[in-house]
Amino acid sequence: MKPCANQQKRIAALALDLLEPHPARELQAHLEICAGCRDYLAELTRVAEQLAATAPSEELPASDQFHRRVMARIEVRPDGPDWRVIWGILRAVPTGWRLVLPLVVVILVLTRIGVGHSPKTAVEVHSPAPASVQVAAGDADADLAPTVANYQRIAEESPDKLDELLARQEPPTARAMPVYTASSRTLRF
Amino acid sequence: MDIEVSEPRSLLEAARGGDTRAFGELCRVYETRLLRQAMGLCSNASLAEELAQDTLVEAWKSLRRYNGRCQFFTWLCAILLNRYRNTFRQKHPLSFSTLGGGDQAQYESHQATLVDAAAGPDQAAQMHEQAALMRACMAALPAKLEQVIYLRFYVDDSLEEIAGALGCPVGTVKSRLFNALEKLRQMNALDDHQENLPMKGGQR
């Protein structure tokens, strides 16, 4: 026989010894007339008794070696910051400063990052090219630094001169690349 | 259930502040009881020691999470069961039928301590089998149900203590206990049913 669906929780509570006296009396009255619920209570009680019987009882005294091993593992300092110590310091600081201190740290970090990424000035934009740009010795135009201002000045004198200068100053590996010439105003491959 | 009078609150506070010596003293208070619980789960002395050590180290690392709503020992036992379930049981599954000779002898010796010494050999054997079956059934429960059964029956805690250790309401603990008991009943009933089935070739 099956137990009554509306009594199952109360029966489980009774088997676990968790039912208050008043509902327990009500349930006992029901159990006297319901065989299904009685069987169900008997099964749950048997399970509860078996659980209680398997509770650990064997003593295993802790040796000094056991204790020393635990302490050795605890006393090894972890890598990285000791957050327990940091938290202890923060806790000691008054509440107002507890908010202000992290903010100050964040602002300092942001300021440092901001300085590292400051925009380049106009002077830096017109700075000379790297020393890897080689020019032919003894040639007056070739001695010119490869700056936009110099190229503009040569182009005003003659577009052909600018072509020659660019050809001379061009690195050998870049010769295969398309070049825009000042004289022809076309793309040359 | 009585609130643990001997619980050294000052040691606990000092340990929370990072005092390893205070935590060491706390360990001394609970080590033997914790080892007994670990032995109950592992049924192997060396594994039990390893499990208890891991539990204490884990407790040290997460000491700030202990909210004081349950006894410190209950909290330790909750960690112990979690570690056993998540790590040890996977590494060292306890299958009664597949245990090797030495381990099986050790396991049987441990189980023998769980049964009534005054019982006769037949009764003792039967209780021994039932205990092994119950442990296997508990292991098959979902984690949340095993937790409440373990803390209620093995650590002998009140509903309030269990709720404090697990961080859930008392009603939830009750509900889980009912569910767990019902599932264990079903497993037991299934096992009884299988025992009564006739084996092929006239065995049993």
Q: Is residue A113 assigned to a domain?
A: no
**Residue B155 clears pLDDT 60, i.e. is over it:** yes
Q: Which residues of B touch A9 (CB under 8 A)?
A: 178
Q: Which residue has the tokens 């009882």?
A: A57
The answer to whether B93 and A36 have CB atoms below 8 angstroms apart is no
Kind and range of the H or E element at A17? Answer: none
Residue A47 falls inside a structural domain: yes
Looking at per-residue pLDDT, the higher value among B119 and B86 belongs to B86
Torsion, Cα of B152, B40, B25, A74 (10° steps):
-110
Q: Are B128 and B156 in contact (CB under 8 A)?
A: no
A167 found inside a domain? yes
Amino acid found at A20: E
Nearest chain A CA: its distance from B37 CA (Å): 6
The Cα–Cα gap between B174 and B125 comes to: 33
Residues of B with Cβ-Cβ distance to A88 under 8 angstroms: 17-18
Q: Can you list the domains of chain B with their CATH numbers?
A: 9-202 (1.10.10.10)
- Report the C-alpha gap between A169 and A177 in whole angstroms: 14
Nearest-CA distance B154 → chain A (Å): 5
Domain contains A147: yes
- Condensed to tens digits (0 to 9), the pLDDT of residues B33-53 reads 999 999 888 878 888 999 999
**Is the CB of A53 less than 8 angstroms away from the CB of B185?**
no
- Radius of gyration, CA atoms only, chain B: 19
Q: Cα A111 to chain center, whole Å?
A: 22
* Closest A-chain CA to B192: A43
The predicted pLDDT at position B148 comes to: 95
Q: For position A124, what pLDDT does the model report?
A: 41
Q: CB under 8 Å to B125, separation ≥6 — which residues?
A: none
Residue predicted with more confidence, B90 or A172: B90
Ranking A71-80, A108-117, B74-83 by mean pLDDT, the lowest is: A108-117
Greatest mean pLDDT range, B123-127, B130-134, B192-196: B130-134
A74 is written with which tokens? 């605890």
Contact state of B181 with A47 under an 8 Å Cβ cutoff: yes
Contacts of A125 (CB under 8 A, 6+ apart): none
Q: What gap in Å lies between CA B49 and CA A69, rounded to an integer? A: 10
Would residue A164 count as lying in a domain? yes
ipTM surpasses 0.85: no
pLDDT at A127 over 50: no
Contact list, B185 vs chain A (CB under 8 Å): 43-44, 47
Residues of chain B neighbouring A54 (CB-CB closer than 8 A): 114, 131, 134-135, 153
B194 CA to centre of own chain: 27
With respect to residue A80, please indicate whether it lies within any of the assigned structural domains: no
Nearest CA in chain A to B132: A54
pLDDT in tens, B98-114: 333 444 455 455 555 55
B22 touching A (Cβ < 8 Å): no
Domain that holds residue A143: 137-171+179-189
Question: Residue B189: what pLDDT?
Answer: 74
Residue A158 has pLDDT above 90, yes or no: no
pLDDT in tens, B186-203: 987 766 655 554 444 434
Give the length of chain A. Answer: 189
Within-domain flag for A58: no
Q: Which of A165-169, B16-20, B93-97 is the most confident on average?
A: B16-20
- Cβ pair A59:B36 closer than 8 A: yes
Could you report the per-residue pLDDT of A30-53, keeping only the tens digit for each? 999 999 999 999 999 999 998 988
Average pLDDT, chain B: 79
Residue A102 Cα, gap to closest chain B Cα (Å): 21
- The predicted model gives B122-130 an average pLDDT of 73
* CA A147 – CA A38 distance, rounded (Å): 102
Task: Report how many domains make up chain A.
Answer: 2
Q: Say if B79 is an interface residue toward chain A (CB within 8 Å).
A: no
**Which chain A residue has its CA at the smallest distance from B128's CA?**
A54
The pTM of this model reads 0.60
